[in-house]
Structure 1
Amino acid sequence: MARVFTVKNGFALYRESLNALYTFAANGDTLCYFAPGSGEFKAMKGTIRNAESSDLYKYKGQECFRLAYTDTLFRILDASTFRPAYKIDFGTHQATRAEGLNPAVDLSDKYLVHNLTETDDYLFLSLTQNHDCPNTRNAGTVKFFQVIYNKKNGELYSFVDKTKKTVPGLIPNDLDGGIGYWPKIQMNGQPYMLLIGRALKRAVPADRLSKIPALQGLEDKEMVLITVR
């Protein structure tokens, strides 16, 4: 997959297969090539896996990114300048790209980022310890964590799903037993969770479904934005 987007004084290209970001001047000249860890990776034969994906998003009109298997979130100031904004320090628990792509490598002591959402007040990170796949879920060898970083006071909160009764990546709703919540996107600094109608109706207890006016007549393929204030 490739993604092209505009930045100040040029444009950028992200290539998932190389885990690399390029920036170009408006006339097409290459200005930056950013592919941390590419030197340690050798071409592999046979099956590969992808244990982690990159995060690319726009915040307050500015493009931001964190490449897979790296620890730093950058702001793209212009086509020639990346500014580090936050560092996710896993220490020895940081997986390299070579480790993440090789299915023979044990990732049980590695932390992997599966989603990063930034709002005006918080960073929301959905993490796993070990690679998340059907085999590790069935074996019970993958752990799910939700981490919230308060940008204003530097406090960090972590939620662990020990019950294994909720969908990984959602904070269980212990207020009224309704659907859990975890933001996957942000708009204008406000976090939102996006669900298809069919999944939302399955997640709400049957005895409450008929009591929620907004869900009456909801089509299975409708998309619903959910936020918490």
Structure 2
Amino acid sequence: MLSRILPLALIATLALSACSTPVPVASPSAAAASSSATPSPTSTPEPEPVPAELVVLNVGVQLYDSEGTEIGAFAWADEAPRALSVLEIAFGAPTATGFIPGEGAHTADYETYTFEGGLTYFTAVNLEKPRNEFHAPSAVRIDPSSDDVDVTIRTPQGLEVGGTQAEVLALSPVANRLHMLGTVYMVDPVDPSIVGAAEDSTDTIGIVVDAAGVIVEIMSPYPTNPL
């Protein structure tokens, strides 16, 4: 009986051995391939916009890059830090600063900031009421300049210092008056409905043309510009 049991036990052992599956072991080459997997790519930072045009409007200033995208803007009632940040993007830090004392209740005190390119920014200070309730919280003036700058300064109509009187007259100025440098023509009124032949009770862009017919100064807003 014992001789019959032993062969049966041996057969069962061999059967169990044949059914068991060996545990796979990773080969060295597979481990190396896993450790050298390509890392995920990092994002490339966007290039800084290149300022190209500063447009002086009757209500404020806009700055555009070389692609024609607006990259900064401020209105006359905006606080000085906002305006200065836009102008510094265009021209760098101011080359000069100044102070214009007011005349009592008639005009406010103004701080001035002059930049390369001939642009001067005026901002009212020491006001006794909110800036948006003051008739001339800030302004800009563009004068002739020999500075080598890459930013064009122009009006929405394309007028620039160094342009011609013919370009100004082609825009049908709403009014004009004498100026110490020649004649100042008022274009692009904020509210054309209240401008008459002898009245300029709304802000415009002032274009100064000298006796030779050359644009020598641009002011906005005008006539509420501090100068």
Q: Which has the larger radius of gyration?
A: 2
Which structure exhibits the higher relative contact order, with contacts defined as CA atoms closer than 8 Å and separated by 6 or more residues?
Answer: 2
Whichever structure has more strand as a proportion of its residues is 1
- TM normalised by structure 2 equals 0.26
Whichever structure has more helix as a proportion of its residues is 2
- TM normalised by structure 1 equals 0.26
